[in-house]
Amino acid sequence: MTLQEAFAARTHNGKAFVPFIMAGDPDLATTTELIVALADSGATAVEVGVPFSDPIADGPVIQRAAERALAQAVNMEGVLRACAAARRRVDVPLVLFTYANPLMRYGVEKLAGQARDAGIAGVLITDMPVEHSQPIAQRLQRAGVDLIQLAAPTSTDERLQRITAAATGFIYAVSRTGITGEQSRLSDDAARIVGRLRRFTELPVLLGFGISTAEQFRQACAIADGAVIGSALVQVIAEHSGSPGLVNEVRRRVAEWTATAAALPV
| Catalytic residue set | 47, 58
CA pair distance 171, 185, nearest whole angstrom: 22
Tell me if 21 sits within 8 A of 184, measured CB to CB.
Answer: no
Angle between helices 157-166 and 189-198 (to 10 degrees): 60
19: Cβ–Cβ under 8 A, 6 or more apart, which residues?
38, 43, 46, 47, 228, 229, 230, 233, 254
CA pair distance 195, 82, nearest whole angstrom: 37
> Which run of H or of E encompasses 191?
helix 189-198
41: Cβ–Cβ under 8 A, 6 or more apart, which residues?
250, 251, 254, 255, 258
CA nearest to 97, candidates 54, 48, 140: 48
User: DSSP per residue over 210-244, as a string?
Assistant: S--SHHHHHHHHHHSSEEEE-HHHHHHHHHTTT-T
CA pair distance 225, 203, nearest whole angstrom: 9
